Each structure stands twice: as structure tokens, then as C-alpha cells.
Amino acid sequence: MSKPKEYTAKTAKKSSGVGAVPKASRPNMPEGYLSKGKTGMLRWHWLDERMAKALNYWVATTCPDGRPHVMPVWGVWLHRRFYFGTHPQTRKARNLKANPQIAVHLESADEVVIVEGTIEEVRGKSLVKQINEAYLAKYQMPSGHGEDDAPMYCLQPRVAFAWEVMTINRSATRWLFDD
């Protein structure tokens, strides 16, 4: 299996897509679930704001035997990427080492945000410092991650989904990210 790639400040600048909003479309759902056309779809800033403001995130990984594993984590949303840390001996870290595919979901089932992609391990003091400063501002405590014994991870998004439950037929939106 592949282990997570390394992600540095240089990589972050190249792939942050700041200024380039991911392409919005309707998610694939059975006929009759969604309105036709783009009317009512959510704007990118709706997802961006919720990812940045959230305190708790649910991270879904896959165990080596194929079983799902879901755990809550703290993290930060910067450069259109999700950053979090975990001890290398946790189940989620071991899962990510074997299979870097991941999904992150916010707590709300009324204002749904799901981001799927691949994990890369964060390297480089300037990016780790930037992430840890954002973490400290958000949680009023240091993250304790970004060193060799406590890695920090970056979710490289492939696709994101969002909707408001009361208007799902109009608001359901999917964003595709460029590789």
C-alpha cells in the first residue's frame, strides 16, 4: 500500500488554488431528488466558511481489512485544505499509512459538508508554523503536532459535497477539485 506523500509550504502555495474556486455541479442522486439546473446551489464561500469555523470534524478512514473507521478530530481549514494531527499509533494514523484515502464530515446533519480526498503528511517548518498558529487562534491551545513523533496531515480534496437539509433538492452542490 502507499504511504501519505509529504506536503510542504512550497506544495501548499502551488496547489492552494487561492482565487480558483472548485467547479460546482449537482451531485449524482436518483431521478427526482434534485432540481434541474443550478438555481439554489450553494456558493463556495458557504462551504469554505463552515469548514473554517467548525471546531469538530469527523474523519473516516478504512482499516486494512476494509472496515470503516470514523473518529472526531480537531483541525484547521487553510489554503482550501484541511489540516489535522494524530499520534502515529492511533488507528486512523495506521489506516492512513496503509491507505491515504479519507473523508471529513462536519457535525451538522442540517448544514452538511463532506470533503473527500487524499492525505499527505505535512513537512516544512513554515507551513507547520502557519497551521499551528491557526490552531492556537482557534482552540486557544497548541496542536502538539507537526514533529516527527506527532505528524500533521493535509487533506488534498478531490471532491466536496454540501447542502442544507430543508432545501436539499435545490441546495445540494458538489465541487470538483483540479489535481
114 occurs within a structural domain = yes
* pLDDT score recorded for residue 30: 86
179 occurs within a structural domain = no
What is the tally of structural domains in the chain? 1
Enclosing domain of residue 82: 5-10+40-167
24 occurs within a structural domain = no
Could you read off the pLDDT of 49-68 as tens digits, one per residue?
A: 999 999 999 999 999 999 99
135 occurs within a structural domain = yes
32 occurs within a structural domain = no
Euclidean distance between CA atoms 154 and 150, whole angstroms: 14
Question: Phi and psi for 9 in degrees, rounded to 5?
Answer: -60, -40
CATH number at residue 114: 2.30.110.10
Mean pLDDT, contiguous 10-residue spans, the chain (179 residues): 47 51 90 86 96 97 97 95 93 95 96 97 88 94 79 94 95 90
Q: How far separated are the first and last CA of the chain, in Å rounded? A: 21
Euclidean distance between CA atoms 135 and 121, whole angstroms: 17
35 occurs within a structural domain = no
